[in-house]
Amino acid sequence: MFNSVSERITQLLVKQKTIEDSQKELYRYGFNQGFTMLFNLITTLIIGCVFGMVLQSIVFLTAYIPLRSYAGGYHASTPWRCYFISVVLISVVLGAIKIMPYSFLVCGVLVGIGTVICFVLAPTEDNNKPLDATEQKVYKKRTYIILIFELCIASLSVFVSKSVFLAICMAIFTESVMLLLGRIKNTLNRSTDPKARIC
């Protein structure tokens, strides 16, 4: 998404001998990821402002990003498509939080379904980023740790803030949907390409 800018910054650092030429690719990737995350964060905050739900958007991202990073799930084929899906996703989530009547039972069902799916399907790899056996174990363990931590925070937030509770519940449920979509995508890829490496 920000390849050209990241490339220019990296080349400048190499030219100034701030970094070694052998480190160029690592820094370019780091800058690209950093700019992409910052752009997504700013976009999410803008959407949060539009909905009048800045707190919920921040809490959702804080819960969703770590879980998503290790649990995996559906990934778009291009950075811009990924960005568009992210915009739609955060808009739908905030819209759902806004119109959904607060019900501990409904939230409990959502987070229960989401938790079970995350425990069963995580990690779900992408064709562009396959995981070896060791990474599978590490990512699964980290997913479980993050999930348990978020469930504890959600449980505590029931007594403190309805908005925080709903946002965390939606983050867990949303990730479970992405895991299901990721598995479906992988299954479809397998049917069209038998040699594709799918977990």
Q: How does residue 51 score in pLDDT terms, banded at 50, 70 and 90?
A: very high
Residue 197 lies in a domain: no
Q: Are residues 58 and 88 in the same domain?
A: yes
Round to whole Å and give the CA distance between 7 and 107.
45
Q: Are residues 137 and 91 in the same domain?
A: yes
When the pLDDT of each residue in the chain is averaged and rounded to a whole number, the result is 86
Q: Are residues 165 and 89 in the same domain?
A: yes
User: How confident is the model at residue 190, as a pLDDT?
Assistant: 72
Dihedral over alpha carbons 144, 148, 154, 159 (to 10 degrees): 180
pLDDT for residue 133 is more than 70: yes
User: How confident is the model at residue 81, as a pLDDT?
Assistant: 86
Which has the minimum average pLDDT: 35-39, 142-146, 180-184?
35-39
Residue 198 lies in a domain: no
Could you list the residue range(s) of the whole structural domain that residue 85 is in? 52-192
Q: Are residues 152 and 69 in the same domain?
A: yes
Residue 199 lies in a domain: no
Q: Are residues 137 and 151 in the same domain?
A: yes
Question: What's the token pair of residue 58?
Answer: 């921040």
Average pLDDT over residues 97-124: 87
User: How confident is the model at residue 197, as a pLDDT?
Assistant: 43
User: How confident is the model at residue 1, as a pLDDT?
Assistant: 59
pTM: 0.82
* Of the candidates 45, 71, 74, 75, the residue with the CA atom closest to the CA atom of residue 60: 45
Average pLDDT over residues 93-114: 85
pLDDT for residue 23 is more than 70: yes
Residue 19 lies in a domain: yes
Q: Are residues 7 and 102 in the same domain?
A: no
Contacts of 34 (CB under 8 A, 6+ apart): none
Residue 184 lies in a domain: yes
Provide φ and ψ at 37, rounded to 5°. -65, -40
Q: Are residues 165 and 100 in the same domain?
A: yes
DSSP strand E in 27-77: where? none
Q: Are residues 97 and 142 in the same domain?
A: yes
User: How confident is the model at residue 196, as a pLDDT?
Assistant: 46
Q: Are residues 146 and 166 in the same domain?
A: yes
Domain count, the chain: 2
Round to whole Å and give the CA distance between 91 and 174.
12
C-beta of residue 171 within 8 angstroms of C-beta of residue 186: no
Neighbours of 157 (CB within 10 A): 18
Q: How does residue 141 score in pLDDT terms, banded at 50, 70 and 90?
A: very high
Among 15, 31, 51, identify where a domain stops: 51
